[in-house]
């Protein structure tokens, strides 16, 4: 029998008991739908993180802190004379930078400056803010304007929500405008700093909603905030350093190791994102196992359906064998039928998942994912193909038992079967 | 009869079921020779072994001992693939219960042996339509098989048996499920084909009238040939 005839006949056999076939396909559908949907979420997050890392373009840098027992570990630390700052992090002093600079392969070791301004305003309402220094060479996606250059003494990069609340009609409108950021000194005296908007950032997960300003103006703010007290001014929580982009993963690991020996912890951008990505992975594994359980249940559905079909078609099989149909062809007819159940179930399941994903993306990007531009469910073709092939393979394996039974039928017995 | 012109030669075949004290012989030493173009009737009560003999002649079953020669080839020497091919290309089958696939069209039912043989859809449909004329069912090509009457169904079966231009047609009680008039029509059709195409007819029946229209009658009882009669033309 020709292979195309075999496939066509197997497909035709699917319609011999429509309701039963339909119900079996529904079982496969549920498994395929769940798998495809969870992969859509996982892939969407993955793609988002990748573009975020690409956006940051700052991958060759480490954020360094003093090594700490986590505040959540429950171990109470003995006092060692070191002061604790925000987030339970140990405060660093300038001589820490000297020590860090000794680590092999590390360059441009610098402290970060943290200021906690009171508010930002455009002359009208006042709004809270977080602000950090713009680090030279940091690449990011902008909606309007440009990045800060070293010649900008008082530049600021806003985010889209700030453009809106500060009363600018659109990102382009904000460029070149003046905004005021105020800082308090230790005596609670307020000073206004004038900044010029040079760019508006596309929304990004990394750096959160923090605004970025020229290093010079941040330095000025920091000095004012610490009231000229050197002990305060010379304290900081984070240091940054960069390394060569051609270093291997092993080299980076040994940098981190060297830092640990000195009592510091270094994290790459990937490390920071990795923590978030791990949660997504765990979430995905959990959902995928639901899909897998649904598929296992569906497998028994296929076996059951085909065993019933073998019973129903006993005489038909007997006739075909009497007329010279080969055992292998009989086997193929039933196993192709199983694979087709897998094919239709997964096709409909994946199509439904893509539909659901499109609907979700449509709603979500306008509401709760509004601030995460580019974060959406994603269904690349290869992923769908892989899910389909997996399900068809499972269906084939499920089909082997009934197919074998059919192929072994004795034509005389089968023709006598009532 | 001269063995050289014989199409099928059966030599002392036995078919047994069970073992030792429970052994039961469905066929117990049957020898027989069938000539090309002959019409042979195998007659016997149920349990006489007539169906078993037909199955062995048609290579659907194998004898426990003894040999069957088809066109001078020992069928026991053929592998399963060759046997399947032999049945598919040289034999035609007509059964009492028709065995047609009720949901398929008449044409698809008739074309089934060619589909199994791997003939392309167009060619096999064309051949099936030709055969519809021969069995006088021209207007039923598109009908579903289940919508046909008993006589029409059996004619579909005969068309199916003819589609591969067989050497032999094996008919197991071909008129058993039909009324007398329809039965006679089917008989006439079978004998006409035998005449025109020199197709050997091997008919299992318990209908004496049908048996009398054949060249030769073999009476089976308890797995043995009881008597053999040759009908005068």
Average pLDDT of chain B is 91
More confident residue, A283 or B168: B168
Query: Is B116's Cβ below 8 Å from some Cβ in A?
Result: yes
Instruction: Please tell me the distance from the alpha carbon of residue A34 to that of residue A293, in angstroms, as a whole number.
Output: 10
Render pLDDT for A69-86 as a digit per residue (tens, 0 to 9). Answer: 555 555 666 666 666 665
Q: Count the residues in chain B.
A: 233
- Alpha-carbon distance of B24 to B145, in angstroms, equals 39
Q: CB distance A323–B55 less than 8 Å?
A: no
Chain A interface mutation, best of B52, B99, B113, highest count of A Cβ atoms under 10 Å: B99
Query: What are the strands of the beta sheet with B65-70, ordered from one edge?
Result: B24-35, B6-17, B65-70, B73-74
Reported ipTM: the value is: 0.92
CB contact under 8 A, A322 and B87: yes
DSSP code at position A75? P
Q: Is A174 exposed, middle or buried (0-12, 13-18, 19+ CB in 10 A)?
A: buried
Residue among B60, B81, B86 minimizing CB distance to A326: B81
- Closest CA of chain B from A404, distance in Å: 17
Cβ contact, residue pair B116, A16, below 8 Å:
no
CB contact under 8 Å between A315 and B117, yes or no, is no
Q: How far apart are CA A31 and CA A350, in angstroms?
A: 10
**Contact (CB<8Å) B89/A412:** no
Interchain CB distance below 8 Å, A326 and B101: no
Interval A168-184 mean pLDDT? 91
Q: What confidence score (pLDDT) does residue A195 get?
A: 93
What string of H, E and C letters represents the secondary structure of A332-382? Answer: HHHHHHHHHHHHHHHHHHHHHHHHHHHHHHHHHCCCCCCCCCCCCCCCCHH
Higher pLDDT, B29 or A75: B29
The count of other CB atoms within 10 Å of the CB of residue A287 is 17
Chain A CB contacts of B158 under 8 Å are none
Residue appearing with tokens 């519809």 = B132
Does A323 sit within 8 Å of B112, measured CB to CB? yes
Cβ within 8 Å, pair A325-B93: no
Is the Cβ of A366 closer than 8 Å to some Cβ of chain B? no
pLDDT for the residue numbered A78: 65
B79 in contact with A, Cβ within 8 Å: no
Average pLDDT over residues B174-203: 90
pLDDT: is A25 or A242 the higher one? A25
Q: What is the CA radius of gyration of chain A?
A: 32
Give B141's pLDDT tier (boundaries 50, 70, 90): confident
Nearest-Cα residue of chain A relative to residue B88: A324
The verdict on A316 touching B (C-beta cutoff 8 Å) is yes
Check residue A210 and report its DSSP letter. -
Please indicate if any CB of chain A lies within 8 Å of the CB of B117. Answer: yes
Half-sphere exposure of A331 (CA within 13 A, CB side): 10
Chain B residues close to A323, C-beta within 8 Å: 87-88, 93, 112-113, 116
Q: Which of A408, A418, A400, A416 is nearest to A319 (CA)?
A: A416
Angle of CA points A103, A108, A109, to nearest 5°:
60
**Of the ranges A101-115, A130-144, B145-159, which is most confident?**
B145-159
Contact B186, B149 (CB under 8 A): no
Stretch among A190-199, A252-261, B89-98 having the lowest mean pLDDT: A252-261
Write down the H helix ranges in A226-326.
230-233, 249-262, 269-312, 314-322
Nearest CA in chain B to A313: B101
Contacts of A139 (CB under 8 A, 6+ apart): A55, A56, A57, A58, A147
Measured between beta carbons, which residues in chain A are less than 8 angstroms from residue B46? none
Q: How many CB pairs lie under 8 A apart between chains A and B?
A: 54
Kind of pairing between the strands at B216-221 and A178-184: unpaired
| Nearest chain A residue to B100, by CA | A316
Q: Which of A52-56, A118-122, A131-135, A316-320 has the lowest mean pLDDT?
A: A52-56
What was the pLDDT predicted at A251? 86
Residue from B113, B121, B111, B107 nearest B91 by CA: B113
In terms of phi and psi (left: phi > 0; alpha: psi -120 to 50; beta: otherwise), the region of B61 is: beta
Q: Are B109 and B121 in contact (CB under 8 A)?
A: no
Cβ atoms of residues A38 and A284 within 8 Å = yes
Which of B55, B81, B99 is nearest residue A412 as measured by Cβ atoms?
B55
pLDDT tier for residue B2 given thresholds of 50, 70 and 90:
very low
Give me A282's structure tokens. Answer: 């765990």
Chain A residues in contact with B101 by the CB 8 A cut-off are 316, 319
Going from the N-terminus, what domains does chain B have, and what CATH number goes with each? 38-51+79-230 (3.40.50.300)
Torsion of CA A122, A124, A129, A135, to 10 degrees: 0
**Quick check: A2 contacting B, CB < 8 Å?**
yes
String of DSSP letters for B42-89: EE--TTSSHHHHHHHHTTSS--SEEEEEETTEEGGGS-HHHHHHHHHH
Q: Which two tokens stand for residue A163?
A: 């453009």
């Amino acid at each position: 029998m020709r292979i195309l005839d075999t496939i066509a006949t197997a497909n035709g056999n699917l319609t011999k008991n429509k309701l039963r076939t339909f119900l079996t396909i529904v079982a496969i559908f549920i498994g395929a739908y769940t798998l495809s949907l969870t992969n859509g979420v996982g892939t969407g997050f993955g793609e988002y993180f990748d573009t975020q890392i690409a956006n940051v373009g700052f991958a060759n840098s480490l954020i360094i802190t003093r090594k700490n027992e986590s505040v959540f570990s429950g171990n109470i630390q003995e006092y060692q004379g070191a002061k604790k700052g925000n987030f339970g992090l140990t405060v660093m002093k300038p001589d820490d930078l000297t020590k860090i600079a000794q680590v092999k392969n590390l360059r441009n070791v610098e402290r970060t400056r943290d200021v906690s301004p009171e508010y930002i305003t455009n002359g009208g309402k006042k709004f809270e803010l977080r602000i950090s220094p713009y680090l030279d060479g940091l690449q990011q996606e902008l909606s309007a304007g440009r990045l800060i250059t070293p010649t900008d003494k008082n530049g600021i990069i806003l985010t889209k929500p700030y453009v809106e609340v500060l009363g600018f009609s659109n990102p382009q409108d904000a460029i070149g405008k003046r905004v005021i950021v105020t800082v308090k000194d230790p005596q609670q005296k307020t000073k206004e700093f004038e900044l010029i908007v040079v760019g508006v950032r596309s929304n990004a997960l990394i750096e959160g909603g923090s605004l970025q300003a020229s290093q010079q103006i941040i330095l000025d703010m920091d000095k004012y905030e610490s009231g000229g007290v050197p002990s305060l001014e010379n304290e900081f929580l984070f240091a940054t350093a960069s390394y060569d982009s051609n270093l291997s993963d092993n080299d980076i690991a040994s940098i981190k190791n060297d830092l640990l020996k000195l009592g510091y912890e270094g994290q790459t951008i990937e490390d920071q994102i990795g923590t978030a990505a791990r949660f997504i992975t765990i979430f995905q594994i959990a959902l995928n196992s639901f899909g897998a359980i649904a598929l296992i249940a569906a497998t028994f559905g296929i076996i059951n359906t085909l065993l019933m079909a073998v019973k129903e078609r006993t005489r038909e099989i007997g006739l075909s064998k009497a007329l010279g149909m080969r055992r292998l062809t009989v086997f193929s007819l039933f196993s192709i039928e199983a694979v087709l159940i897998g094919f239709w179930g997964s096709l409909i399941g994946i199509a439904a998942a893509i539909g659901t994903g499109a609907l979700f993306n449509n709603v979500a990007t306008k509401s709760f994912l509004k601030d995460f531009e580019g974060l959406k469910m994603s269904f690349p073709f290869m992923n769908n193909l892989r899910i389909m092939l997996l399900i068809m393979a499972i269906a084939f394996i499920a089909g082997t038992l009934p197919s074998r039974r059919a192929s072994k039928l004795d034509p005389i017995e089968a023709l006598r079967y009532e | 009869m001269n063995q050289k012109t014989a199409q099928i030669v059966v030599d002392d075949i036995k078919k047994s079921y069970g073992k030792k004290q429970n052994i039961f012989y469905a066929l117990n030493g049957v020898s027989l020779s069938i000539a090309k173009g002959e019409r042979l009737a195998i007659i016997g009560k149920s349990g006489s072994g007539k169906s078993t003999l037909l199955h062995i002649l048609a290579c659907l079953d194998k004898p426990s001992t003894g040999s069957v020669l088809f066109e001078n080839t020992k069928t026991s020497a053929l592998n399963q693939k060759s046997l399947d091919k032999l049945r598919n290309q040289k034999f035609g089958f007509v059964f009492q219960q028709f065995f047609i696939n009720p949901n398929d069209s008449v044409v698809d039912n008739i074309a089934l042996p060619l589909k199994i043989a791997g003939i392309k859809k167009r060619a096999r449909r064309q051949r099936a339509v030709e055969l519809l004329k021969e069995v006088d069912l021209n207007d039923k090509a598109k009908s579903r098989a289940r919508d046909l009457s008993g006589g029409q169904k059996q004619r579909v079966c005969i068309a199916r048996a003819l589609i591969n231009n067989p050497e032999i047609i094996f008919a197991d009680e071909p008129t058993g499920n039909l009324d007398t008039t329809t039965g006679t029509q089917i008989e006439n059709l079978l004998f006409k084909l035998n005449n025109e195409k020199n197709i050997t007819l091997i008919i299992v029946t318990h209908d004496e009238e049908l048996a009398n229209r054949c060249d030769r009658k073999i009476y089976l009882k308890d797995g043995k040939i009881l008597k053999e009669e040759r009908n005068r033309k």
